[in-house]
Chain A
Amino acid sequence: MTPILELKNISKAFGPVKVLTGVDFDLRPGEVHALMGENGAGKSTMIRIAAGDHRAEEGEIRLDGKPRRFAGPREAQGEGIIVVHQELLLFPALSVAENVFLGHQPKTAAGLVDWGRMRREARDLLDRLDCPNLDVDQRVSRLSVADRQRVEIARALSRNARVLIMDEPTAALAEADVRRLLEVVRRLRSEGVAIVYVSHRMNEIFEIADRVTVLRDGVSVGTRPIAEVTEASLVSMMVGRDIHQLFPKEDIPRGEKRLELRGVSLAGVVEDISFDLHAGEILGIAGLVGSGRTELAQTIFGVTPATSGEILVDGKPQKIASVREAIDAGIAYVPEDRGSHGIIRAQPLRENVSMAILDRLTKFSVVDTGREQSLATDAIKRFSIRARDARQRVGQLSGGNQQKVVLAKWLATEPKILILDEPTRGVDVGAKTEIHRLMGELAKKGLAILMISSELPEVLGMSDRVLVMREGRLSAIVDRKDASPAAVGAAMMQGRREPARAGAAR
């Protein structure tokens, strides 16, 4: 069978940095071809070359067996090569239908937008994606992440996508939504669409992909049918070494009580939460998106102060009405949304790392740049952050390295309690293992860790106890020895309403 899309011997460099060297890749109609690799391995660049965003310096692109050059993304789109980006590129103020047909609205004879046809066709596309509950007149800003993604896919289909490139489509989704997305992918495959599927999540790859290509440091390590690889062999292809244990969880004796919540509520969002957290303990929080996990974390951290209940730090009641007070109480929070709450992209690494302890790095309110610089270079070494130097802008780093910068920033505050909200979201396998190992190290040093994660294996693998949330309430606390996917999953789902609504209610 001729491949729809073929990349042959592609090389690309940005200035002196070689990003891709002699990469081959081919995509057949009606297949899901997974693309894996650590962050910085060259996946995004490869996608951009295929989509006409970048031009390769060497090598050629073949479409249906014929060599083709794309002058820009528009030409590639014209050929039906569409990318669904990780950061969804939708217009929040416009309706679902308007977003789907933005740039190619159906027109009436008079040249005006044919609203009736546009809404009808948007409806058909969404039905094709199996989301009959999505209203085409709804504003996109009111949709959940999962629904926005469906809109983005509908937009791709409206342009007659033959090749759909999905860049980490499940990074921001909870388990139930992932299921539905995979269902959509299957459906598209059976319709003959060729899909490039970029993801770090192994179980999805094994469930959905027909073949997998692994990139490492800009070189293709190989393309294999999925039946010929195992999780372990993929990981070793990606990182170039074996990872014996995916979750390096160590047994650490439980220390004294660091944090205690007594009936903490945030009116209408989080209701009546009580638990305690000990030194050396990793307490996982599981729950679906919209179950109030992040809201709880931000309540403890003073972003949205609690409206009732008591928070005790080291046994003493602590008033936390602002982030500053939380930091002073020894609490640190690595946020879920790294881009908008964690880092400041436009500023250099060192200014990001020092941001939370700026007041401690000053003499008469003048920033001690010498100490700041050494703080940053230490962080680069300690967390093996791949950056040119401490002056590099954080926005230029890969996701995993950005996350390490955020971790470095919060560990610089020398916290007693560390809240990690999706610590490995959008992070490659190598960095993920490093972050897990780091969590173990920190717990061993006596840090009390509260970890929120949508990845059940991560929660089960890393936590001493698992706290399960559902609809803003605590639905169960499960000990490590009893924590099975079934037990935790059941506590997450019990008596839930229709999934799309719970997401939209956020």
Chain B
Amino acid sequence: MTAMTRILIRHEAILGILFVVVLIAMASQNDRFLTTANLLNQARLMTEVGLIAIPMTFVIVTGGIDLSVGSILGLCAILLGVFWQNLGLPLPAAIGLSLAAGTAAGFANGLIVTRFRVPPLIATLATLALYRGLAEGISQARSVRGYPDWFAVLGRGDFLGIPTQLWLFALVAALGIFILRFTTFGRTTYAIGNNEAAAEFSGLPVERTKLLIYTASGFISALAAIVFVSRVSTTRSDMGSGIELEVITAVVLGGTSIFGGRGMVIGTLIGLCLMQILQNGLSLSGVRGDGTTVVIGAVLIVAVLISNLLSRFSSD
């Protein structure tokens, strides 16, 4: 097999082609779709899911899962409002504290998974409920509004003609690509997903790596909370509920194996964009929200099927 065909039958390449096809199809359906304004706006809307999808790619590559990201987002959003309005802290301090809280929540997930050896699915299913419950308890069903104008720049403003949060997302994504692909940390992540025992027998820091990954997942979820609050300029306790499923869908659509050991951040990015343009394009064409969900589900299955078929063909 030539190097060219080997690249072409990669899941990421297939997904890229699928992305272009969908892009063209959507553009031909509706002339409001392929405009700079619309695309930039879509990019703005997908930033929160996108941010969390980066550490989630790491989590899933290790063979784990983090279901609590949506609840961490909600908790951190609430804490931001409470620190700022109810405790009267300056907003930058409230942001800092909220980020710290998200990091601690992720760290707790990591501890439960590594120290107490609870399967990640169970551990984060439990903290999903726990963190969301905390958020609701703290908020007492009140929302916080009236954030200062400078704060709205992050979620609604532009920098050099591009939505501010997109710069932040680009930075996180670039960091993710770099770490997973080029560093010992990334190598260890893959090794854990493929054969955790062998990684341990090779003296790789398995526990520390997993702990760091879950902690990063918490931190980035908090970051996404800040972006989210800034974009909608209000805080509610149900923020980000269900976002974990969108995130996981993007990661898996992007070719990361749910069994671990395989996946790339690039794939996650393409999967994410594909989901977003499908949603947007379909709604512009007048398809209702539930119809869009059906289409995304179908695309996920088709993409995974094609990829499985081709990998069977390539491995023999």
Residues of chain A touching chain B, judged by Cβ–Cβ distance below 8 Å, are: 14-15, 303, 322-324, 326-327, 333, 335, 340-347, 351, 355-356, 358-359, 362, 365-367, 409
Contact = CB atoms under 8 A, between A and B. Distances in A.
B187 interface: yes
Nearest to B206: A323
A389 to B, nearest CB: 12
Determine chain B's interface SS by DSSP, over half rule. Answer: helix
B83 interface: no
B197 A341 contact: yes
Interface residues of B, number: 23
Contacts of B201: 303, 323, 333, 335, 341-342
B198 A342 contact: yes
Given A303-B200, A365-B183, 4 more contacts: A327-B203, A333-B201, A340-B198, A344-B194
Contacts of B205: 324
Going nearest first, the 10 A-B pairs with the smallest beta carbon separation are: A323-B203, A355-B202, A341-B201, A327-B203, A324-B203, A344-B195, A344-B194, A346-B194, A356-B202, A358-B184
A15 B198 CA distance: 31
A409 B262 contact: no
Contacts of A303: 200-201
Interface of B: 1, 182-185, 187-188, 190-191, 194-195, 197-205, 261-262, 316
B202 A351 contact: no
11 contacts: A323-B201, A323-B203, A324-B205, A343-B195, A344-B195, A345-B195, A346-B261, A355-B202, A365-B185, A366-B184, A367-B183
Nearest to B190: A347
A344 B199 contact: yes
Nearest to A333: B201
A359 B188 CA distance: 11
A247 B198 CA distance: 30
A40 B191 CA distance: 27
A358 B185 CA distance: 10
Given A15-B316, A362-B184, A367-B182, A323 B202 contact: yes
A345 B204 contact: no
B182 A340 contact: no
Contacts of B204: 355, 358
Given A323-B203, A358-B204, A345 B194 contact: yes
Contacts of A345: 194-195
Contact of B184 (A327, A344, A365): A365
Given A344-B195, A346-B194, A347-B191, A409 B184 contact: no
Given A323-B200, A327-B203, A341-B201, A355 B191 contact: yes
A234 B197 CA distance: 38
A356 B261 contact: no
A367 B187 contact: yes
A394 B183 CA distance: 21
Contacts of B183: 362, 365-367
A356 B203 contact: yes
A345 B195 CA distance: 8
Contacts of B261: 346
A347 B202 contact: no
A14 B184 CA distance: 35
A366 B180 CA distance: 10
Nearest to A413: B203
B273 to A, nearest CB: 27
Nearest to A410: B202
Residue in B1, B183, B201 with the greatest tally of chain A CB atoms within 10 Å:
B201
Contacts of A324: 203, 205
A25 B167 CA distance: 67
A56 B261 CA distance: 33
Given A341-B201, A343-B198, A347-B194, A359 B316 contact: no
A358 B187 contact: yes
A305 to B, nearest CB: 13
Nearest to B193: A346
A349 to B, nearest CB: 14
Nearest to B184: A358
A14 B191 contact: no
Given A323-B203, A366-B182, A344 B198 contact: yes
